[in-house]
């Protein structure tokens, strides 16, 4: 971190600005450099110890200097910072949804992936324990699906598997069937229409936000939908967090 010796290397009359982390600059060393008039001033937005709430008092040795500006950790609250944060978060979400990339995650394994243009990609998150990858592979091979590529990244607790399979010609999406029951599509929950009512598989793999919302508001109902009875429905829709009942209706004849 930046101590007295580091500050001494700065040009006399310089100004120091710290809006990164409170532990980056040693406050005592900065105070000494200011007392010796080596630095002309400083602006500090972050501190080693900060008040937990507005009720807590703030005390810092730098408060006695008239040539020091102290701000309450607001560096990230500027309009430019907020715009950059919104852009960065959006880009990371899009990269995860479109590709599966998790670079920058703080509580998840980090994986950088390239876009997949002609294969069907599956992402699987599981508890890190022996034998999971073998079981996942058997799910695909038992259905005569050829695995084009496979990647596994783990940390102490989580396993993240990315599998690309050879996609059937002209197929835009794949329905996942488990023990004969239709569950979800590869990137979304699915709902089926019968008359004026909409149904979603009871054997879902992921209880998505939109699926739960539509169920709670009684717009859709759960049902056991399998390979034998799904043709009893008229059409279907793919729903996810950003797409609800307004999703395009897909006729069942489009599913092979």
- Per CATH, the homologous superfamily of domain 175-254 is D-amino Acid Aminotransferase, subunit A, domain 2 (3.20.10.10)
Q: What is the pLDDT of residues 43-85, one digit of tens each?
A: 999 999 888 888 888 899 999 999 999 998 887 788 888 899 8
User: What pLDDT does residue 142 have?
Assistant: 83
CA atoms within 13 A on the CB side of 122: 26
Average confidence (pLDDT) over 9-30: 95
Distance CA 40, CA 61 (A): 17
Q: What is the average pLDDT value for the chain, to the nearest integer?
A: 90
CA atoms within 13 A on the CB side of 100: 22
- Asked if the model's pLDDT at residue 213 lies above 90, the reply is yes
Residue 202 annotated to the active site: no
Q: Name the percent of the chain lying above pLDDT 70.
A: 98
Average confidence (pLDDT) over 102-113: 90
Instruction: Choose which CATH entry (3.50.50.60, 3.30.70.260, 3.30.565.10, 3.30.70.100) describes domain 104-166.
Output: 3.30.70.260
Q: Does domain 4-77 have CATH number 3.30.230.10?
A: no
Distance CA 189, CA 212 (A): 10
Q: What is the DSSP letter of 11?
A: P
How many other C-beta atoms lie within 10 A of the C-beta of residue 239? 26
- Asked if the model's pLDDT at residue 169 lies above 60, the reply is no
Query: Domain map of the chain by residue range?
Result: 4-77, 104-166, 175-254
User: What pLDDT does residue 167 have?
Assistant: 64
Residue 38 annotated to the active site: no
Active site residue: 38, 73, 124, 126, which one?
A: 73
- Asked if the model's pLDDT at residue 104 lies above 60, the reply is yes
User: What pLDDT does residue 75 have?
Assistant: 79
Equal fold, 104-166 vs 175-254: no
Active site residue: 21, 157, 197, 202, which one?
A: 21
Number of DSSP helices (H) and strands (E) in the chain, helices first: 5, 13
Residue 197 annotated to the active site: no
Active site residue: 35, 49, 50, 234, which one?
A: 50
């Amino acid at each position: 971190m930046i101590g007295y010796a580091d500050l001494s290397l700065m040009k006399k009359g310089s100004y120091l600005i710290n809006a990164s982390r409170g532990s980056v600059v040693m406050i005592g060393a900065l105070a000494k450099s200011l007392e010796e008039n080596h630095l002309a001033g400083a602006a500090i937005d972050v501190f080693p110890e900060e008040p937990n709430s507005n009720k807590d008092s703030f005390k810092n040795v730098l408060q006695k200097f008239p040539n020091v500006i102290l701000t309450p950790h607001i560096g990230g609250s500027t309009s430019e910072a907020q715009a950059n944060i919104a852009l960065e978060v959006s880009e990371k979400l899009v990269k995860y949804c479109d590709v599966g990339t998790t670079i920058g995650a703080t509580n998840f394994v980090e994986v950088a992936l390239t876009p997949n243009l002609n294969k069907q990609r599956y992402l699987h998150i599981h508890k890190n324990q022996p034998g999971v990858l073998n079981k996942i592979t058997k799910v695909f091979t038992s259905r005569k699906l050829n695995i084009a590529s496979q990647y596994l990244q783990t940390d102490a607790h989580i396993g993240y598997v990315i599998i690309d399979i050879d996609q059937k010609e002209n197929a835009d999406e794949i329905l996942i069937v488990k023990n004969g029951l239709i569950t979800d599509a590869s990137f979304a929950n699915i709902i089926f229409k019968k008359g004026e009512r909409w149904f979603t598989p009871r054997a879902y793999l992921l209880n998505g936000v939109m699926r739960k919302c539509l169920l709670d508001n009684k717009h859709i109902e759960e049902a056991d939908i399998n390979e034998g009875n799904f043709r009893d429905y008229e059409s279907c829709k793919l729903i996810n967090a950003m797409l609800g009942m307004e999703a395009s209706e897909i006729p069942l004849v489009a599913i092979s």
